[in-house]
Amino acid sequence: MNAARARITLPFLIFVTPVLMWLFLLIVLPHIDLLLMSFRIEDDAGATVWSLVNYLNFFDEPVYWRTFTRTAVYAILTTMITFAVSLPVAFYITKVVSPRFSGFLSLLLLMPFWVSELVRVYGWMILLRESGVINHFLLKAGLLQRPVEMLYNDVTMVMGLVYTSMLFMVVPLISVLESLDDSLIEAAYDLGGNVFSIVTRIIIPHAMPGIVSGGIVVFMLTLGNYLTPNLIGGKNSLWFTEQIYNQFIASFNWNQGAAFGFLLLILSSSIIWIGLKLTRQKLSQVVQ
């Protein structure tokens, strides 16, 4: 009997060990270390002691919690805009064009992701900066008298974030819309539905698992994004990841940085939890 059990568990162990090692060594262990670090400070004598000061700093200093709220609000906004842009795209790819063409279109969507995010963001900067391509043409066309700086504001930053994360919304939406029977849309149309009622009553309820899973991914990526807000958001658009970066690299205050890191983790987890509750989805269904 023991032999039989060993035959089942040995291959299982071989497969599961790397996963557990990866989880434990690269995720759990560093996080425990960071968590401990966030509760410690150096006292005047240079010795490390336990303290809540790192967390209290966050609430005392308005620039920290304001950046924090700003980041959360903009991440939610970005997720919503990404959804609004992606739904028509996904619908067009799955339901409007012929199936042969839809594969090609999905590939086109994927193409920008073959280059690194850094290069893509610089691409946007070449287009939008004061001496950039768009300004050049607007000046040539006589629509502008003097070049306008289009970078380093919130609108451009959100646009950049939407562009960066769109694919992660479109892909789950495509897979969930592919399973939507066309005759449901036709039936709704036949029963007197218009575009608005068909989208809100048929398409969105059906696509809900895809919307939520895409939303979680986009929200997480946006909240944790560092490059895009830093490069095209500029100094006026502070992002919370920049605060964490500053603590670790600029101030060399790892304890403070760790505390901020944990606050960001709590923020993202709780917003996703609220999102799941509001849409009445279960995490286990959404990640399938």
Partner 1 sequence: MALDLSVENVTKTFGDFTAVNEVSFAVEQGRFFSILGPSGCGKTTLLRMIAGFIEPTAGRILIRGNDMANLPPNRRPVNLIFQHLALFPMMNVAQNIAFGLQRRKEKKPEIDRKVADILERVGLPGFGNKKIDQLSGGQKQRVAIARCLVLDPAVLLLDEPLGALDLKLREQMKVELKKLQAQVGTTFIYITHDQSEALVMSDHVAVMNNGRFEQVDTPRKLYAHPKTPFVARFVGDNNAWKGIVADHREDLCTIETTDGQIFTAGAAPDLPSGTPVAFFIRPEAIIIAPDAGLDDFNRLPVVIKSILFDGANSRLLATPVDGEKELMIALPQNRQYDHLNAGDRVDIGWSARSASCFKAS
Q: Exposed (0-12), middle (13-18) or buried (19+): which is 229, by Cβ within 10 Å? A: buried
95: contact with partner 1 by CB under 8 A = no
Nearest to 272 by CA among 189, 225, 195, 214: 214
In angstroms, the CA 34 to CA 17 distance is: 24
Q: Which is nearer to partner 1, 232 or 286 (CB)?
A: 286
Least Å distance between CB 185 and partner 1? 9
Binding mask 236-275 for partner 1 (x = CB under 8 A): ----------------------------------------
Among 45, 191, 235, 277, binds partner 1 (CB under 8 A): 191
8: contact with partner 1 by CB under 8 A = no
Query: Which tokens sit at 226?
Result: 């560092």
Among 134, 138, 188, 265, binds partner 1 (CB under 8 A): 188
Q: Which is nearer to partner 1, 48 or 197 (CB)?
A: 197
Among 39, 122, 189, 248, binds partner 1 (CB under 8 A): 189
- Phi then psi dihedrals of residue 42, to 5 deg: -90, 125
Q: Which is nearer to partner 1, 145 or 194 (CB)?
A: 194
- Residue 235, C-beta contacts closer than 8 angstroms, at least 6 positions apart: 152
DSSP string, 15-55: HHHHHHHIIIIIIIHHHHHHHHHHTEEE-TTS-EEE-SHHH
In angstroms, the CA 51 to CA 95 distance is: 58
Q: Which is nearer to partner 1, 146 or 280 (CB)?
A: 280
193: contact with partner 1 by CB under 8 A = yes
Least Å distance between CB 198 and partner 1? 9
Among the residue ranges 27-35, 112-120, 200-208, 217-225, the one whose residues contact partner 1 (CB under 8 A): 200-208
With CB under 8 A, what is the number of residues at the site for partner 1? 17
Among the residue ranges 34-42, 107-115, 148-156, 182-190, the one whose residues contact partner 1 (CB under 8 A): 182-190
Nearest to 154 by CA among 219, 88, 228, 225: 228
What is the per-residue burial (b if ≥16 Cβ within 10 Å, else e) of 194-221? eeeebbeebbeebbbbbbbbbbbbbbbb
In angstroms, the CA 244 to CA 239 distance is: 9
**CA quadruple 133, 138, 144, 149: dihedral sign:** negative
Query: Which tokens sit at 53?
Result: 């000061």
Count the neighbouring beta carbons within 10 Å of the beta carbon of residue 118: 11
Among 10, 187, 249, 274, binds partner 1 (CB under 8 A): 187
192: contact with partner 1 by CB under 8 A = yes
Among 30, 88, 103, 205, binds partner 1 (CB under 8 A): 205
Q: Which is nearer to partner 1, 185 or 221 (CB)?
A: 185
Among 95, 206, 275, 276, binds partner 1 (CB under 8 A): 206
Q: Which is nearer to partner 1, 80 or 208 (CB)?
A: 208
Count the neighbouring beta carbons within 10 Å of the beta carbon of residue 9: 11
Q: Which is nearer to partner 1, 119 or 187 (CB)?
A: 187
| Chain contacts with partner 1 (rule: CB under 8 A) | 181, 183-184, 186-194, 197, 201-202, 205-206
